[in-house]
Structures are given as C-alpha cells and as structure tokens.
C-alpha cells in the first residue's frame, strides 16, 4: 500500500475500496498510529481549534462561560485554546497572534477593533463576541441595564430602602462595561 492510499483512508476519502480501507484501518490500529495534528493543520489549513480570548480568565463569570464552551467544542472534535488578556497592552498582540492558530474565535468582554475584524475576516476566522454588542459580528449578550433594574426593583418591592450597589472594580480596563450598565439599571430603579 502506498502513502497516498493510507492518507485517503485516514482522511475518509470515498475513493478507496472497502477491502483496502479495512486492511489499512487494521494496520493503523495494530500500530497505534495517531495522525499528527500539526501536520494535518499544515496540509488542510484547518487547526480544529477555537480560540477564546478572555480578560481575567480566572474570574468566576469567565470560568462559567468556559465551562459551557469547553465540552461543546470537545464533543465537536475541536480543542479550546485560551488567550488570557490581563493588561490592555496585551490586547492588540493577542488579536494578531490568533491568525493561523485557530479556525474560529470567541471573545469574552473584548470587542476587536475594525482593523482587527478586517484582518480576522481576511484570514477566514469567524468571530463571536460574548458580553459585547456589535453591529457587524455575531454576539451573545445579557441586558445588564435591565438586570440591574430588575434586581433593584425586586429589593424595593420587598420593602428595602437602603440598597447599595457593589460592582466590578476592573470595569473599563478593557472597555468592558457590564458593571456600569448594571449600575445604571440600579440607579434607574431607585429614581
């Protein structure tokens, strides 16, 4: 058997007879062969990886989102590649470094600039934003303003009159403003 035949079997090509396919798969199993993911990525142009850019990835809200994403990616045959951005100066570098390393990008609380989005689109990398609204990119957001208002109104309906707001101290470091929106909802309910 030639290398090309083995390659066609491993890559699921229909141009190999069933008898040859069975023989190749038996030898693959016997030898314990595993395709090299790096070599496969070079030959196919696909990494089978999805990048997740997250500021402060050890924060509970980010961990919860990663818990939701990770099993879904794994069950789909993708691996999660985490890019942590703790300082604003890291941000630009991270958006550049993902090109060629991932097939898709999920970014939590950080919206790429227009130039970064153009570069990602030119590289064929789809982007989904979490906790950031955007008019030209797929997004998953929470209505933080309404959430802050509803939580405060609930406390008011219980008869509470001295209600404090405790928000994120890192709000705004990377342009994230969930805490600011919740505070605005809180203030709206109080007024």
| 2-33 pLDDT tens trace | 888 887 887 777 888 888 888 988 888 888 88
CA distance 9 to 13: 6
CA distance 155 to 177: 23
CA distance 54 to 189: 31
Q: Is 143:188 a contact under the CB 8 Å cutoff?
A: no
| pLDDT given at position 42 | 64
Give this prediction's pTM: 0.69
- The pLDDT tens digits for 102-151 are 999 999 888 888 999 999 999 999 999 998 888 889 999 889 899 999 99
- The pLDDT tens digits for 34-45 are 776 666 666 667
Question: Which burial class, exposed, middle or buried, applies to 102 when counting CB atoms under 10 A from its CB (0-12, 13-18, 19+)?
Answer: buried
């Amino acid at each position: 058997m030639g290398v090309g035949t083995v390659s066609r079997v491993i890559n699921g090509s229909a141009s190999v007879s069933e008898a040859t396919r069975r023989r190749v798969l038996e030898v693959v199993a016997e030898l314990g062969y595993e395709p090299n993911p790096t070599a496969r990525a070079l030959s196919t142009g696909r990494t089978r990886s999805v990048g997740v850019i997250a500021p402060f990835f050890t924060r509970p809200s980010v961990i919860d989102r990663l818990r939701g994403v990770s099993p879904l990616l794994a069950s789909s045959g993708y691996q999660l590649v985490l890019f942590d951005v703790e300082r604003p100066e890291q941000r630009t570098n991270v958006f550049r470094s993902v090109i060629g390393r991932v097939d898709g990008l999920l970014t939590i609380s950080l919206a790429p600039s227009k130039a970064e989005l153009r570069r990602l689109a030119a590289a064929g990398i789809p982007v989904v934003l979490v906790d950031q609204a955007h008019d030209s990119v797929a997004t998953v957001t929470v209505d933080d303003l309404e959430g802050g208002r509803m939580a405060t109104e609930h406390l008011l309906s219980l008869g509470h009159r001295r209600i404090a707001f405790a928000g994120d101290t890192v709000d705004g470091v990377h342009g994230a403003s969930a805490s600011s929106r919740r505070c605005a909802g809180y203030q709206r309910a109080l007024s």
